[in-house]
Amino acid sequence: MSEDEEAVELDHVEWYVDDDGTEFFHHAGHRYELGEDGYAYDAGPVGDATSSGADQAPMGPDADATTEMPVAAAPTTQLPAASAGDDGAGDGTVRISTDDNGGGSQMASVVAPPQGVDRSSAAGNGHREPGDVMLRIRGLRSGYGNLPVLHGVDFDIERGSTAVLLGLNGAGKTTTATNICGSLGVWDGSIELDGQDIAGWGIKKSVDAGVVMVPEGRRVFPDLSVERNLQIGAWQQRKDTDWVAQQREQVLEYFPRLRERLAQKAGTLSGGEQQMLAIARGLMAKPRLLIIDEASMGLAPVIVSQVFSIIEQINEDGVTVLMIEQNVGALDVADVAIVMEQGTIIRELHGEELSDRALVSQTLMG
Ligand code: ATP
CA 175 to ligand 1 centroid distance, Å: 6
Q: Whose CA is nearest to atom 9 of ligand 1?
A: 172
Dihedral over Cα of 330, 315, 354, 342: its sign: negative
pTM over 0.85: no
Asked whether residue 54 carries a pLDDT value surpassing 50, the answer given is: no
Contact in structure between 179 and 324 (CB atoms under 8 Å): no
Query: In testing the pocket of ligand 1, which one of 173, 186, 342 has its CB within 8 Å of the most ligand atoms?
Result: 173
pLDDT surpassing 90 at residue 291:
yes
Task: Tell me, in angstroms, the distance from the centre of ligand 1 to residue 28's CA.
Answer: 32
In whole angstroms, what is the distance from residue 71 CA to residue 224 CA? 21
Measured from the Cα of 167, ligand 1's closest atom is 6
Q: For a pLDDT cut of 90, what percent of the chain falls above it?
A: 47
Q: Which CATH superfamily is domain 120-365 in?
A: P-loop containing nucleotide triphosphate hydrolases (3.40.50.300)
**Residue 55 neighbours by CB distance under 10 Å:** 11
Instruction: Name which residue sits closest to atom 28 of ligand 1, judged by CA.
Output: 144
Band the pLDDT of 204: cuts 50, 70, 90. Answer: confident
Span from the CA of 21 to the centroid of ligand 1 (angstroms): 39
Is the pLDDT assigned to residue 21 strictly greater than 80?
Answer: no
Rounded to the nearest angstrom, the distance between the alpha carbon of 254 and the centre of ligand 1 is 31
How does DSSP classify residue 64? Answer: G
Q: Which residues form the pocket of ligand 1, taking CB atoms under 6 Å from any ligand atom?
A: 144, 147, 149, 167, 169-175, 326
Cα of 176 to ligand 1 centre, how many Å?
10
As beta bridge partners, residue 225 has: 265
- Nearest protein Cα to ligand 1, atom 30: 144
C-alpha to C-alpha distance for 125 and 134, rounded to whole angstroms: 11
* Predicted pLDDT of residue 219: 78
Which of 142, 147, 149 to mutate to test ligand 1, by most ligand atoms within 8 A of the CB atom?
149
Taken in order 292, 296, 297, 298, is the CA torsion positive or negative?
positive
Average pLDDT of 332-336? 94
Residue 366 binned pLDDT confidence (cut-offs 50, 70, 90)? confident
| Domain boundary assignment for the chain | 3-96, 120-365
Position in ligand 1 atom list of the atom nearest CA 340: 6
| Atom 29 in ligand 1: residue holding the nearest Cα | 144
